[in-house]
Structure 1
Amino acid sequence: MLLGPPGAPPAFDTVVPPDLLERLTFTSRRGERTLKYVEEGRLMRSVSVQGIHRLAAGSAAELRELVLDSGR
């Protein structure tokens, strides 16, 4: 499940640029981590995004800008 702002259904047609995908950072009790299985700017396995993850503040801000820009 993807959670977004109220009243804004998630769009699944937005392409995440390779450089952003490679630097996306998630936080947990154990600290921060980047996505696993990213090769040449492509996510090769989805296992690293399965489950409940909280984006680090910087990554959340970058994704927000990407989504807002793609909606214009």
Structure 2
Amino acid sequence: MARTDLNPTSGTSKTSPRFDSYVYIYTLSEQLLPAAHRGFGTEYTFQHDNANIHSSKTTKAFLDEHLEKVMP
């Protein structure tokens, strides 16, 4: 499994080469969604492309459970 490292000083993250659906979901839940909620509350539409990790059944199930509005 890939590893995601958050740089606490810049807020950026880097990932190892194998970025699968599970790492994507982890990154969403631990970094991106908390930042989006802090910045926008719940009034935003999440958008991503249809890369394999974004459109997998596992990712779709996670997004359906955690977000109201998602644009593929």
Q: Could you state the TM-score of these two structures normalised by the residue count of structure 1?
A: 0.25
In the superposition, the TM-score normalised over structure 2's length comes to 0.25
